[in-house]
Amino acid sequence: MTTAQIIDLHRIRLPDGTPVSRALPSRRQRLVGSLNGLQSPVAVHSPLMAADLRCTADGEVRLPLNPAFEYALVVLDGSAETAAGAIDDNRFCALAAGGSESELVFRARAGSRLLLIGGEPFGEEIVMWWNFVGRSHQEIADARADWENTAPRFGEVADCRERIAAPRTLRPR
């Protein structure tokens, strides 16, 4: 079992002693998982990380990468650019595990907000559709049917709103 936590990057220092918060053109970053050796006591079931990056100045951001993780950098507001190209509300940057990059480098404009998520790759192919993750199209179809029939595997949530129906279109890949 791996641990995770929300860590304020103001506590993390670069090798030369500079606080990361001063080295990044960003007001506040929060982290789930581990970064630079800091980890949380909160139990999770797989190694993972997530950082909320809020840029307050135009500039370049450099973040260390775990070579065993795959990553996705998603723009929540604004825009950013990596060596691979621009990232905006229609595109994200994906980095495969085992790559040669030891850090993620991107440029962002002031006011941009990005989400970096990462973790160990699954050991098998997966199928993702709507709110479901499975190993095959049939598992997804079964999950959709169970959702629509309010099967106990999904539990109940007390809420004043109606249950959201799964989309009708389900195409095999």
Q: Is the pTM of this model over 0.75?
A: no
Contacts of 164 by beta carbon, 8 Å cutoff, 6+ apart: none
Task: Name the residue with higher pLDDT: 122 or 12.
Answer: 122
Task: Identify the pLDDT of residue 31.
Answer: 61
Look at residues 40, 78, 64 and name the one whose alpha carbon lies nearest to residue 116: 64
CA atoms within 13 A on the CB side of 22: 7
d(CA 103, CA 73): 13
34 alpha-carbon distance from chain centroid:
13
Mean pLDDT to the nearest integer, 27-42: 58
Return the structure tokens found at 67.
Answer: 């070579």
**Confidence band for 21, pLDDT divided at 50, 70 and 90:** very low
pLDDT score of 141 more than 90: yes
At 136, list the tokens.
């095959």
